[in-house]
Amino acid sequence: MTFDRAVSFGNGDNRPLVLWNENGNAELKAIYEELVYSMRLTGITPAKEKRVEPHMTLLYRGRVVPDIMLDEPVIWTPKDFVLINSLQGQSIHEHLCYWTLHD
């Protein structure tokens, strides 16, 4: 995963400040598409389909932080993958499944 900027996401009072890549992370988007496809095959309909924006949340702020271009991109190689059911508005995150990733 490569992140080239820090940006504020969302709207409302609790905006996350995240690391993000303007050009996206194609590999992560592909994993998302595979997951949605697999869910449909098993009869699970995703609650809502939306454009996926791979990012890493750093913190939550009550205000918008101007976009910051990083002098050097942050490059991170994930070692694990966790499928999480985030119950929006409840601050509850259920870990449904865990995988160790290999090279």
Count of domains observed in the chain: 1
Q: Is residue 84 part of a domain?
A: no
Per-residue pLDDT of the chain (103 residues; tens, 9 = 90+): 899 999 998 777 778 899 999 887 887 888 888 888 888 898 887 767 667 788 888 988 777 888 999 999 999 888 888 888 888 788 888 998 898 987 6
**In this structure, what DSSP letter does residue 45 have?**
P
Question: What pLDDT sits at residue 4?
Answer: 94
Q: Is residue 37 part of a domain?
A: yes
Question: What pLDDT sits at residue 6?
Answer: 93
Beta-strand relationship, 55-61 and 2-8: unpaired
Q: Is residue 20 part of a domain?
A: yes
Q: Is residue 13 part of a domain?
A: yes
Question: What pLDDT sits at residue 49?
Answer: 67
Q: Is residue 80 part of a domain?
A: no
Beta-strand relationship, 15-20 and 55-61: antiparallel
